[in-house]
Amino acid sequence: MKKFVWVFVWFVGIALLAVITYSQDVQIKESGSQEASLK
Amino acid sequence: MNADSRKKAFNLIILFGLVSLFGDIIYEGARSVNGPYLKTLGANAALVGLIAGLGEFLGYGIRFISGYFSDKTRAYWVFTFFGYAMLCSVPLMALAGVWQLAALFIVMERLGKAVRSPARDTIVSQAVKQVGTGFGFALIEVLDQVGAVVGPLIFSGLLFLSQVKLKTVNDYQFGYSFYWLPFFLLLICVYVAYRKVPNPAELEGLPAAPKPDKLSKVFWTYNLFTFLSTAGYVNFILMGYHFKAKGLLTDPQIPFFYAIAMAVDAVAALIIGKTYDVFKEKKKNELAGLYVLIFIPVASIFIPFLAFSLNYGMIVVSVILWGAVMGAHETIMRSAIADITPLKKRGTGYGIFNVSYGVAVFIGTALFGLLYDHSIFAASLCAAGFQAAAIAVFFILKSQAIKEAFHHA
C-alpha cells in the first residue's frame, strides 16, 4: 500500500512539473513573438 | 606482502589522490563555466550541446582503444603523463577568442581523460591491493571530490571579485588562466609518483588463475538500461547555458551551483555505494545490488523539468538532484559491471560500458541542445521519455537478475 502511495505521488509530481514547463514554454514563445512584432 | 611495498603503495595512493585533486580543480572548474563561456563567445544551445556531447563521447569511446594499447604496450606511465599533460587545454581556453577554438580545447580536455584513465586505473589498482581496495579507492575519491568542489569555487570567486556586472570574455579568460598553477602542481605530483614507483606491477602479488566465461544476458540488459538513463540525464553544460541565457543566475553563481552539485555528489556516492553493498549482503546475492539502480531514472526524470524552469527554488532542487544522480553514476553504475561480468571478461565489459555511456551522453546532450532552441518543453519531455524507457528496462533487468541468481543457487 505504502509503495502505491509513493508511486502515485511520483506520477503526480512529474505531471505537475510537465504542466508548469509547458505553460512556461508558451509564455516564453508569446513574449518572443511580441518582441519580434514590436521590432 | 612486506612493509616496504605497503609503504610504497600508500605513498603512490596519496600522490594519485593529489593528482586527482589538482586534476578535478582544473577540469571540474572549467566544466562549471564552459556553457556560459561558450554563450559569451556567441555559440547557441545546439552548438553547446553538440560540443559537450562530442567531448563526452570521445572521452568514453577512446578509452576502449587507449585501454587496449596501454595493456598491449604496458607503457602505463607514458599514457598517464600524456593524458594529464593534455589538461593544459583548460588554461589554454584563456587564449580562445572564438567559440570554435574553445570547442577544440573542450574536446581536447576530454580526450586527455580518455588517454590517461585506463592506464592510471591500472597503476592505482595495483597499489590498492596492498592497502585494501575499498580504503584505497575511497581515499582517492575523497581527494577527487575536494578538487571537484574547490575548482568551481575558484571560478565563482574570481568572477565575483570582478566588479563588472555583465561578465565579458576577458573575465572568463582571466579565470581560465588561473588553472596554470594547479596544472604544474599536478605534473610535479605525477613525476614524483613515477620516480617513487616506476614499476607498479611489483606491488601486486601473483594474479589469480583466469576462468573462461562469457558476458551474460544481464550484462546486455544492464547496458541498455544505463544507455537510456544516461541519454536522458541532462548535461550541466546545458543547465549552465539555460541559467545564463534566461538570466536566472549571475555568472559567479553558476560555478558555485556546480560546486554544490559536486558536494552533494560526494555525499550521495557514499550513501548509495553503501546501500548497494548492504543490498548485496542482505539478499546474499551479488546481483541484488542492481535493485538500487532504480534510483537513477526515478530521480533523473525530474531534473529537466526543474532545471529548465524559470523558478529559482526549482533550479536549486534540480542542482541537488543532479549531484545526487551523478554520485550514483560514479559509484553503482561502475561497480555493478564488476558484479555482472566474469573476471576474464571484465576489461571488455568496462570497455563496452564506457563506449555505450559515451554514445548515450553524446546523443542525449546533442539532442537536448537542438530541441532546447525550439522548445524547452520538448527537450524536457524527450529526457523524461528516456528515463521512462529506462524504468521499463529496469524491471526486465530485475527479473533476469532474479532468474540468474536462482540458476546459480
Best residue in A24, A31, A33 for a mutation probing chain B (most B CBs within 10 Å): A24
| CA quadruple B276, B281, B286, B288: dihedral, nearest 10 | -60
**Does residue B308 contact residue B242 with C-beta atoms inside 8 Å?**
yes
Q: Is there a contact between A20 and B305 if contact means CB atoms under 8 Å apart?
A: yes
Residues of A in contact with B247 (CB under 8 A): none
**Does residue B218 contact residue B405 with C-beta atoms inside 8 Å?**
no
Q: Is residue A34 part of a domain?
A: yes
**Start-to-end Cα distance in chain A:** 58
Residues of B in contact with A10 (CB under 8 A): 298
Distance CA B384, CA B150 (A): 31
- Classify burial at B105, counting beta carbons within 10 Å of its beta carbon; exposed 0-12, middle 13-18, buried 19 or more: buried
**Does residue B329 contact residue B296 with C-beta atoms inside 8 Å?**
yes
- What pLDDT was estimated at residue B179? 92
Q: What is the 3 state secondary structure string of chain B?
A: CCHHHHHHHHHHHHHHHHHHHHHHHHHHHHHHHHHHHHHHCCCCHHHHHHHHHHHHHHHHHHHHHHHHHHHHHCCHHHHHHHHHHHHHHHHHHHHCCCHHHHHHHHHHHHHHHHHHHHHHHHHHHHHHHHHCHHHHHHHHHHHHHHHHHHHHHHHHHHHHHCCCCCCCHHHHHHHHHCCHHHHHHHHHHHHHHHHHCCCHHHHCCCCCCCCCCCCCHHHHHHHHHHHHHHHCCCCHHHHHHHHHHCCCCCCCHHHHHHHHHHHHHHHHHHHHHHHHHHHHHHHCCHHHHHHHHHHHHHHHCCHHHHHCCCCHHHHHHHHHHHHHHHHHHHCHHHHHHHHHCCHHHHHHHHHHHHHHHHHHHHHHHHHHHHHHHHCHHHHHHHHHHHHHHHHHHHHHHHHHHHHHHHHHC
- What pLDDT was estimated at residue B272? 82
- At residue A36, the 3 state secondary structure works out as helix
For chain B, the domains span 1-200, 213-409
Q: Is residue A1 part of a domain?
A: no
How many CB atoms are located within 10 Å of the residue A34 CB?
A: 10
- What pLDDT was estimated at residue B346? 67
List per-residue pLDDT tens for chain B, 409 residues long. 567 778 888 888 889 989 999 999 998 888 888 888 888 888 888 888 888 888 888 888 888 888 778 877 888 899 999 999 999 999 999 888 888 999 999 999 999 988 888 888 778 777 776 766 556 666 777 788 888 889 888 888 888 877 666 567 788 888 889 999 999 999 999 999 999 888 877 776 555 444 446 778 888 999 999 999 999 999 898 999 999 888 899 888 888 999 999 899 888 887 887 788 787 778 777 677 788 899 999 999 999 999 999 999 999 999 999 999 998 887 777 777 777 777 666 667 777 888 888 889 989 999 999 999 889 999 999 999 999 999 999 999 988 887 776 666 5
Domain B213-409 adopts which CATH fold? Growth Hormone; Chain: A; (1.20.1250)
How far away is chain A from the Cα of B254, in angstroms, using its nearest Cα?
21
Q: Who among B301, B309, B384 is closest to A24 (CB)?
A: B309
- What pLDDT was estimated at residue B409? 57
Please state at what angle helix B3-40 crosses helix B99-131, rounded to 10 degrees: 160
- What pLDDT was estimated at residue B339? 75
A1-39: pLDDT as tens digits: 788 899 999 999 999 999 999 998 888 888 777 776 766
Residue B213 phi, psi dihedral angles, 5° rounding: -165, 175
Q: Is any Cβ of chain A less than 8 angstroms from the Cβ of B308? A: yes
| CA quadruple B89, B56, B290, B326: dihedral, nearest 10 | 60
Q: Who among A14, A22, A29 is closest to B302 (CB)?
A: A14
**Does residue A24 contact residue B309 with C-beta atoms inside 8 Å?**
yes
Residues of A in contact with B375 (CB under 8 A): 25, 29
- What pLDDT was estimated at residue B217? 87
Best residue in A8, A11, A21 for a mutation probing chain B (most B CBs within 10 Å): A21
C-alpha cell of residue B282: 542482505
Domain B1-200 adopts which CATH fold? Growth Hormone; Chain: A; (1.20.1250)
Q: Is residue A38 part of a domain?
A: yes
Distance CA B237, CA B38 (A): 10
- What pLDDT was estimated at residue B161? 79
Range of the domain at A24: 15-39
- What pLDDT was estimated at residue B324? 93
**Nearby residues of B129 by Cβ (< 8 Å), 6 or more positions away:** B9, B203, B204, B205
Triad B227, A12, A28: Cα angle to 5°: 80
- What pLDDT was estimated at residue B373? 86
- What pLDDT was estimated at residue B164? 60
Q: Is residue A6 part of a domain?
A: no
Q: Is any Cβ of chain B less than 8 angstroms from the Cβ of A33? A: no
- What pLDDT was estimated at residue B155? 82
- What pLDDT was estimated at residue B231? 95
- What pLDDT was estimated at residue B24? 92
**Does residue B228 contact residue B386 with C-beta atoms inside 8 Å?**
yes
C-alpha cell of residue B192: 614524483
How far away is chain A from the Cα of B302, in angstroms, using its nearest Cα?
7
- What pLDDT was estimated at residue B209? 45
Q: How many domains does chain A have?
A: 1
Q: Is any Cβ of chain A less than 8 angstroms from the Cβ of B372? A: no
Residues of A in contact with B306 (CB under 8 A): 17
Please state at what angle helix B376-408 crosses helix A2-38, rounded to 10 degrees: 150
Q: Is any Cβ of chain A less than 8 angstroms from the Cβ of B298? A: yes
CB contacts under 8 A, A 1-30 vs B, are 10, 13-14, 17-18, 20-22, 24-25, 28-29
- The residue among B376, B148, B329 whose CA lies nearest residue B233 is B329
Q: Is there a contact between A20 and B309 if contact means CB atoms under 8 Å apart?
A: yes
| CA quadruple B208, B211, B216, B220: dihedral, nearest 10 | 50
